[in-house]
Amino acid sequence: MESKMKPITWQEFENVELRVGTIIAVDDFPQARKPAYIIKVDFGPDIGIKKSSAQVTDLYGKNDLIGKQIIGVVNFPPKQIGPMRSEFLITGFNREDGAVVLAVPEREAPNGAKLA
């Protein structure tokens, strides 16, 4: 089976700011079209606290997420999602059943550390 992935250059990859952050707040997002949370993440002193919408309600309760480290793309432009302004993209993997499994560091890393 031939891959349909488009090759990218190393420079293109280096432009993606994949950073580690710690979830500090999780709120319901009842206005979302699909079940979602509004998640606030601390990306360290250089980036600060950013918020995003995340459709991760199938596998994660709000209390499961507080204190969890995640990997986010922090250099996308802000995106309006209903009444909230998303400031980063939380990363995860789609399962066949539609649930999203969060991409997380295997061990604790400093908030703001860039994926190498």
pTM listed for this prediction:
0.93
Residue 106 phi/psi, 5° resolution?
A: -70, -30
Residue 33, domain extent: 17-102
Residue 9 is assigned to a structural domain of this protein: no
Say which CATH number the domain at 23 has: 2.40.50.140
Whether 114 is in a domain gets the answer: no
pLDDT category of residue 1 using cuts at 50, 70 and 90 = low
For 4-30, what is each residue's pLDDT tens digit?
A: 899 999 999 999 999 999 999 999 999
Question: At 116, is the pLDDT very low, low, confident or very high (cuts 50, 70, 90)?
Answer: confident
pLDDT averaged over the chain? 95
Q: How many domains does the chain have?
A: 1
3 within a domain of the structure (yes/no): no
DSSP string, 1-68: ----PPP--HHHHHTS-EEEEEEEEEEE-TTSSSS-EEEEEE--TTT-EEEEEE--TTT--HHHHTT-
